[in-house]
Amino acid sequence: MPNPWCALIACFISVAWLAAGSGVSTAAEGQDESLPIETDAEKVQWFETKIRPALIEHCLECHSTETEASGGLVLDSRDGWQSGGDLGPAIVPGDAAASRLIEAIAYDDPALEMPPDGKLDDVTIAAFRRWVQDGAVDPRQPSRSSGEPTRQTGLPVERAHEHWAYRRIAPSDASIDAWIDRDLARHGLTAAPPAEPRALVRRLTFDLHGLPPSPQTLDAFLADPSPRAYERLVDRLLASPHFAEHFARRWMDVVRYAESITLRGFILPEAWRYRDYLIWSYANDRPFDQMIRDQIAGDLLACDDITETQQRAIATGFLALGNSNLEDQDKTKLEFDHIDEQLETIGRAFLAQTIGCARCHDHKFDPIPTRDYYALAGIMRSTTPLKHANLSKWIEKPLPLDPADEAHYRSLQTRADAVAAELKTLQSLEKGGPGNDKRVVSVDTLAGVVVDDADASDVGTWTESTFVKPYVGAGYRHDGTTGQGSKSVTFDPVDLPTGRYEVRLSYTSHDNRATNVVVKVFSANESTTVRVNQRRRPPIDGLWISLGVFPFEKEGQSFVIVSNENADGCVIVDAVQFLPVDGQPSVAKGSADAPAGATTDDVDLEAVAARRKTLSAELKRLQSELNRRPKYLTVSESEPREEIAVRVRGNVHQLGDTVRRGFLSAVGPAQRYADRIGSRGSGRVELAEWIADPSNPLTARVYANRVWSWLMGEGLVATENNFGTTGEPPSHPELLDALAAELIDHDWSTKSLVRTIVCSEAYRRAVTDDARRIAVDPNNRLYASGSVKRIPVEALRDAMLCVSGEIEHRTGGSTIRPGTSSDYNYKHDSKRRSLYLPVFRNSLPPLFGLFDFADSSVSVGQRGQSTVAPQSLAMMNHTWIIDRARQAGKRWLHASADGPAASSSAKSSSTKSIVEQLYLACYGRRPDADEMQLCLEYLGGEDAAPSEDRLADLIQSLFASIDFRYLE
């Protein structure tokens, strides 16, 4: 139970908040939208209380002078909407019916629906309609003295080099500290001293592992006299699997990783394989340029190594993690929305470009024309991301396996297909459908010359059968499951008179039959090959198919050969009939008018039912084994398209000019790779190569900046996902280029780059509150000092599990509870590292939402850093935290002298020792004298045995402290 005083504070805050909220009122509240607004004052008040808030919340993100003014329309001033946009005036004061704004928000025109992410509620729409009808009174001042709205034209492609991000990377031999210290000197600042060793180890361990350092790690480092002790510690941390897990989680923010879709809480059961691919990649220090190729086109880059092939294929899950509206019945719109999400994620993740802004118009700020957007969209349009139905679905494919396993599963699938086909026939027989043709046709009843399979000569082993009817004679034969291409049967009539004959072939149809049976007719001086689809019911009396009319000579060749050459299923041979034409006399043993089905055998329904039961059980077993075959989340190559049309203003049904598939023309070697796109592929391989090319000026800069941000708290470019003209410029452009060049020169090694950064003096500096530094550089962008960093929520949770001794360090695999069909109200009860908790878009794990977990529906370059009261209240009152503190109390109270809680420097179970070990586990340091005194007094004194409850409360207070949640 939470402490009473904590609950009292929470109650007080809630009551105060509610009281404040209930006291806010305006004259316009409660006013009926249907009533006229009489006075100018009331009209102004209507605007301020009803219209301005709605504009700010729903419109100004895209329609203001501070953004891109989508469609040329700005709504942050009166003169903006008066001037109108590209489509003309948006509002006709006094005439709501004639106003495009009202038409757009009412969703009256499918081609003009605003806001695009969802229709406004009816009350808000009614308020806008009343406002316009009553004259659209807008008290806001003009945005400019000229009365014209501000329009930014953006950076044209031919001038892209004027912006720092599009210029070629300039390598440098100078070190990190050389660049940092140069700027410090320019600003008259002095670098802070190195951090205290314990603080540095804690900082380093959290930054590289996302976990607190163990007491053993601390003691070992402090006891190492070598000048290379720190470098050795760095190498040990980089070699640990925990490094790969932590950096995988960092990248998962960037690629909007999730294991469910918001819509109906659909589970993505194979998404975890992509997470494990990232862990595998970082553990093996996979070159980041190869990781780019993997994630964009890995399914197209198979190789001889099966592990490599599997990992590349799995990596394409990156393209399939988007949070799309699968219920959208306009499938073309759904596909283009899905493409837009993919391009926006690719652009932000690898290039720090807001590509999606060019979907409806040329980018207002960056050198990205709409044509470039649709050149990229053509690549993704040549890829199939979803399987469409009333409710579309993501794509899962069988994971590539080694040859032996592939053969095993192929054999299972072949057998399952055969069993399913036979079951279908049996069900048809039981129901008396088309398959319930019970005839067994005697040769003697047939016209012409008939050669039964019993009288034919064969090559290879053929199997006799009477299972499927109708058939001629005593039965028919099939080629079995072996010897493809080596088996044949020859039907040779004896002394066939000279003349013209229609040649017919008899066979029993079934779903497991071949569709391409090769039948060769040898007639007078010629041979003719006919291919027969034996899955189709024979068209003549359900028994025969005509091979054609042929001339035969008595002493010449007159035979038919059926073979299983290249057959794609079972081949059936039953009988061949030679029917005379041109009025020739019949030579049949029976009358030509004799009924085709003179004799029949009844179907034994009991035998059929028994057989069906046996096969049903077998099919269930086979399907269960087939379902155990690994699958992965991915996309598919579709029929490639040379070009697609620009969608005018983003409307998928309004086509403009067509464009060739290609890339951002202002960035790197775009044309060189665009020229390589052929008609046989989507262009994803070329897209990956263009992004990963070392001469692309964005890619290495963007990734180097991310790694710097993950270690230093903020990127050299603070807008990690936006290197465009609206993003922040780099604080140290030369340093950024030096890091990017080093990344490339060291084979795109993440570990090498991390090692370089954390071994710099800039990383190892102490956190100080130097007044001059704060005055000159309040945000510490010059890195004169270390920065206080809040550890992410995953590390916060994991640290508490480490203290309680409950953390489970199993790696990999799916962690979704079996039988989970939806993510709603999912109970996250695992004690594994937070990395492995399912990321459900409708049901995040405890604490994640409170402590700024990344929005998993969009690419996130830098998480928010909110500091709000609910965070502190959660640390005091959340049941999960209270339970961890209680478990930790039991662990530390009952640990033996040489148990897991003890370190080499203090192996005692005394109260003082427990407090020391708790501080080491929570803060990476021992308590000072005042802290020790307070703790001992609370626990009852140094000599008294503390109670579990008191110890748990003390541990919870340590969890709640700033020292626990922040790094210095």
Ramachandran region, residue 748 (left: φ > 0; alpha: ψ -120 to 50; beta: rest): left
Ramachandran region, residue 649 (left: φ > 0; alpha: ψ -120 to 50; beta: rest): left
What is the Cα–Cα distance from 203 to 230, expressed in whole angstroms?
12
Cα 925 from chain centroid (whole Å): 41
* Largest pairwise CA distance in the chain: 122
Amino acid 943: pLDDT: 80
- Summary count for the chain: helices (H), strands (E): 32, 23
pLDDT averaged over every residue in the chain: 86
DSSP 3-state assignment of 858? coil
Contacts (Cβ under 8 Å, ≥6 apart) of 762: 176, 177, 180, 191, 712, 783
Looking at the whole model, is its pTM more than 0.85?
no
Give whole-number Cα distances, 631 to 314, 350, 401, 921, in Å: 9, 27, 10, 41
Is residue 500 within 8 Å of 581, Cβ to Cβ?
yes
What is the Cα–Cα distance from 390 to 392, expressed in whole angstroms?
6
Amino acid 436: pLDDT: 59
What is the Cα–Cα distance from 960 to 948, expressed in whole angstroms?
18
What is the Cα–Cα distance from 105 to 83, expressed in whole angstroms?
19
Amino acid 525: pLDDT: 76
What is the Cα–Cα distance from 681 to 693, expressed in whole angstroms?
19
pLDDT, tens digit (0-9, with 9 covering 90-100), for 700-758? 999 999 999 999 999 999 999 999 999 999 999 999 999 999 999 999 999 999 999 99
Long-range contacts of 195-200 (CB under 8 A, 24+ apart): 195/764, 195/765, 195/766, 195/767, 195/786, 195/968, 196/766, 197/221, 197/222, 198/222, 198/924, 198/925, 199/766, 199/924, 199/925, 199/967, 199/968, 200/230, 200/764
DSSP assignment of 240-287: SHHHHHHHHHHHHHHTT--SB-SGGG-B-TTTHHHHHHHHHHHHTT--
What torsion do the CA atoms of 778, 781, 784, 787 make, to the nearest 10 degrees?
80
pLDDT, tens digit (0-9, with 9 covering 90-100), for 918-933? 999 999 999 999 999 9
Amino acid 435: pLDDT: 53
SS (H, E, C) 415-483: HHHHHHHHHHHHHHHHHCCCCCCCEEECHHHCCCEEEEHHHCEEECCCEEECCCCCEECCCEEECCCCC
Contacts (Cβ under 8 Å, ≥6 apart) of 939: 911, 915, 946, 950, 951, 954
Low-confidence ranges of the chain (pLDDT < 50): 1-38, 143-152, 585-602, 896-908
SS (H, E, C) 778-833: CCCCCCCCCCCEECCHHHHHHHHHHHHCCCECCCCCCCCCCCCCCCCCCCCCCCEC
Is residue 614 within 8 Å of 529, Cβ to Cβ?
no
Is residue 485 within 8 Å of 565, Cβ to Cβ?
yes
pLDDT, tens digit (0-9, with 9 covering 90-100), for 168-217? 999 988 999 999 999 999 999 999 999 999 999 999 999 999 999 998 99
End-to-end CA separation in angstroms for the chain: 32
What angle is formed at CA 381 by the lines to CA 375 and CA 383, rounded to 5 degrees?
Answer: 125
DSSP 3-state assignment of 885? helix
pLDDT, tens digit (0-9, with 9 covering 90-100), for 610-664? 888 999 999 999 999 999 999 999 999 987 777 899 998 888 899 999 999 999 9
Number of C-beta neighbours around residue 370 at 10 A = 23
| The total number of residues written for the chain in this structure | 968
Q: Which residue has the tokens 């459908």?
A: 433
Type of residue at 701: R
Amino acid 775: pLDDT: 92
pLDDT, tens digit (0-9, with 9 covering 90-100), for 321-358? 999 999 998 999 999 999 999 999 999 999 999 999 89
DSSP assignment of 202-227: HHHHHHHHSSPPPHHHHHHHHH---T
What is the Cα–Cα distance from 131 to 96, expressed in whole angstroms?
8
Is residue 586 within 8 Å of 448, Cβ to Cβ?
yes
What is the Cα–Cα distance from 252 to 318, expressed in whole angstroms?
9
Number of C-beta neighbours around residue 726 at 10 A = 18
